[in-house]
Amino acid sequence: MKLVLRYFAVLSVVFVGLSVSSCKEKNPLDAFTEVKGTYFSINQYIIDEWTSHAGEPLVFKKSVKSNGKTDTTLINADNLDWPSVLDLFVATDISNRKYLGQYTFSQFDDETDKSHNFMYVANKGDMFVQKLLITMNFDMKVRGVYIETFKKTLFKETQQKMLYAPLKTIQIQQYEKPFIGATREVITKYEVLR
């Protein structure tokens, strides 16, 4: 029952993120079932990963490094605060048609690494998602997703660097530079223990 509630909570976060990010859609469920445009959908990937690994008994080592100090805890997948982690990734989805033409897409293969790499780079510096890199094996299985974001407000600049390596690591680096005061850096890392 606990797993069903957690699954519902995660899907709710993705659903809310999708419906808030694209208020012009007539049916918010369309965002779940079809990719808008030709760009990679982080939200669809989250749903696929969640569905594929739901119920697996995973334990994470969570490390939070802030201002030079590190705090580490062990937490199982059932007790992880998934909405707070997934919200950051849901906000980076660029699959909506409104983003077509706003990113430069490139693809390159690495024979040494035996991987396909797909990169989206923002054409403008004011785009929230600045870079999205998807690395896949030659059999098209995702090895990793790397995302860089940037947001500038009246009071601060915030930059994030996020990495997801399936069943290995979730890492979020956040840098906040206020216009007055010192830069704050927080690195949160979830490593799967096997």
Which residues, 6 or more positions from 157, have their beta carbon under 8 angstroms from its beta carbon? 150, 151, 176, 177
The pLDDT of residue 75: 95
Give me 67's structure tokens: 């201002």
Residue 74 confidence (pLDDT): 96
State how far the Cα of 165 lies from the Cα of 163, in Å rounded to an integer. 7
Joined tokens for residue 58:
């995973």
Q: Give pLDDT, residue 33.
A: 44
- Residue 38: what pLDDT? 61
Q: What is the pLDDT of residue 55?
A: 84
Please report the DSSP string for 50-63 in residue order: HHHHTT---EEEEE
> Strand order in 142-152's β-sheet?
69-76, 59-66, 184-193, 169-178, 156-165, 142-152, 129-137, 115-122, 103-110
Residue 78, classed as helix, strand or coil, is: coil
0.75 exceeded by pTM: yes
Tokens of 150: 């940037």
**pLDDT string in tens for the chain (194-residue length):** 444 344 444 444 444 444 444 444 444 444 444 444 468 899 999 999 989 888 889 999 999 999 889 999 999 998 999 999 999 999 999 998 889 899 999 999 999 989 999 999 999 999 999 999 999 998 889 999 999 999 999 999 999 999 999 999 999 999 999 999 999 999 999 999 97
Q: Where are the domains of the chain?
A: 2-193
